[in-house]
Structure 1
Amino acid sequence: MPPRRAVTGRSQEPRQRYVEELRLLRAQKGDSLRQLGDVLGWDWSLFGKMESGQTLGSPEVVQALDQHYGTPGLLLTLWELAVADPTQFRERYRRYMTLEAEALSMWHYGVSTVHGLLQTASYAHELLSAGGLGGEQLARQVEARKGRRALLDGEDSPRFRTILSEAVLRTPLADAAEWGKQLELLLGMSERPNVMVQVVRHAVGLHALSNTDTTFLRLPDGRTVAWVETGYSGELVEETAAAERLQLSYDLVRDLALTPAESRKFIRQLLEEASCEPST
């Protein structure tokens, strides 16, 4: 049987199709986001987040939209398909990777792990293995992470800042020698003119990003987007107001961090401690 041909020209990916329909129906109705919020009784920013794909919204909101647009059941059906779609994380991550490759500058806060651009092969292997990958898929992912570091090479490479929670540097690999190599890589990368590594010590206490691993990308068109990640999912934040709120939190955390020079000194200290530990 020949593959199904798209007739409408709209996306065949459930989440994107849902977003497209939300935008199309509002445009046809002639509503602004604020007008939509006033009519339906929800904050207008929620509809902006739904139309940018940041959130799917609740079924109650979607049902209200169906009633408002005169499309009984259409949006709710698309919502159900988007919620059930097992590929939505991969699709969003692929979009993030595309934007990462275009970024003029990047800045990151790590709660518990080193950013992928600064991981050794052994670190990536152990981390991805712990997440359930194995075999050929694991090998491909490790190679992909090694290849990503090329983004930071060359004269036109973006500026990159990573702020790491002390917990990241207190969580070693099983192999002490490989952990030493990871610390050495962080030190080496921090010496590059386009890379800045900073550490937030435990002593600063709770702060705005205590449980949020976040990467920001400044794009050629002037926009800043954010990738917010846990060990099981990720969210690409493209809506300007939401990205700005996250960036404000990042700025507050940066003010709590050690300076780059102090951070290098701290990492060197950990490296010395690791090299002095007896091997098992």
Structure 2
Amino acid sequence: MVGNARKTPKARSLGAELREVREKAALSQRKLSSLATISNASLSRYETGERVPSPEDVASIVTAAGGDGDLRDRLIDMARDAAEPNWLAAGAGSRHKELTTLIEFERTATHILEVSPMLVPGLLQTESYARTIMAGLPADELDMRVTTRVGRRDVLLRPGAPYFDALIDEHVLQRPIGGHSVMAHQLRHILTMAEQPNITVQIVPSNVEEWHLALEGAFILFRFPKAAPIVNLEHFRSSAFLYDEGDIHDYIQSGDNLRRVAMGPADSLELIARYADKMEVPQ
């Protein structure tokens, strides 16, 4: 289905990839649209995810920008069901698409809520911490992924940065991933990032007795100025992006409930500092 996609997750990811193809070719929208024989307005809407291009238009755009056949075929395949409200990206081959999508959502969001029951949120990770949790990747991919992850946090520090709320389970602070020195540095880094006026960190105490959705796994809720919210669920070899209104409502409500049971920001930072102190004690 092509046409109006209402900025679904897959339509926006496809748009981000088309923009990346154009920028790598050092072409303006006007120049590429002329080469691909489509209107400049259509190309603009394709790149923002407002409309889903036909497979024929995707082929024309990628070919005109000098993209190879594998890239063309992959983006054509994305276009075929980009108007669907939810999207599951599975397998090792989905990593680039997932990363491109997350960067696009982080770039355009006005508010990001990340619920992290197992690990430090990606946008708050240090290089050493990120390298430890990605250690199973091939060496060349590991370096690229770590560099990209560390670079992504700059989105929180630029002018006009989105508001970022992190809800972190207390157990995350206790787990010395990478060793006590790496974890101590990671916790100190969270404290430093939390000094930014757009960043709020709250800890969900380990003694909370009621069930909450974070016990089901991590999720990220993105809010945008001119598009509906999107939820990202990341797993070991797959990533899901939810856009359906009913699904989104449940995650918004879950975030509100978690804020209610979590420690306040000031108390949360004091707790993080105490765990950092413990990690710095020679073992």
Q: Same fold (TM over 0.5)?
A: yes
Match of 2:78 among 1, 6, 16: 16
Structure 2 residue matching 1:87: 3-state secondary structure: helix
From 117, 126, 136, the counterpart of 1:111: 117
The 5-angstrom pairing of residues 94-133 of structure 1 reads 94-129=100-135, 132-133=136-137
Shift of 1:104: 1.0
| Separation in 1, partners of 2:278, 2:92 | 44
Aligned to 1:61: none
Using a 3 Å threshold, how does the CA distance of structure 1 residues 15 and 163 change in structure 2: closer, same or farther? farther
Change (3 A) 1:140 1:117: same
Number of matched residues?
A: 216
Gaps of 5+ in 2: 1-53, 60-72
Of residues 160, 170, 174 in structure 2, which corresponds to 1:166? Answer: 170
CA RMSD of aligned residues (A): 2.5
How far apart are residue 273 of structure 1 and its match?
1.4
Describe the superposition over 1:229-265 as per-residue Cα deviations: whole angstroms up to 9, x where unpaired.
1233211112222112111111111111000011011
The alpha carbon displacement at 1:181 in A equals: 0.7
**1:147 aligned onto 2:180:** no
Q: Residue type of the partner of 2:164?
A: F
- Counterpart amino acid of residue 264 in structure 1: L
User: Does structure 2 retain, via aligned residues, the 8 Å contact 1:109–1:215?
Assistant: yes
Rg larger for: 1
Q: Which residue does the alignment assign to 1:77?
A: none
2: CA distance, partners of 1:139 / 1:86: 16
* Superposed displacement of residue 228, structure 1: 1.0
Q: Does 1:203 align with 2:207?
A: yes
The residue that corresponds to 1:54 in the other structure is 87
Identity %: 25
**Offset, 1:86:** 5.8
1:223 Cα deviation (Å)? 1.8
> Aligned residue for 1:137?
141
The structural deviation recorded for 1:96 is 2.7
Partners of 2:177 and 2:183 within 8 A in 1: yes
Counterpart contact for 2:109–2:224, Cα < 8 Å: yes
Deviation at 1:97, TM superposition (A): 2.1
Kindly indicate whether residue 236 of structure 2 is the aligned counterpart of residue 235 of structure 1: no
Unaligned stretches of 5+ in structure 1? 1-5, 24-50, 56-81
**Shift, 1:90, TM fit:** 3.8
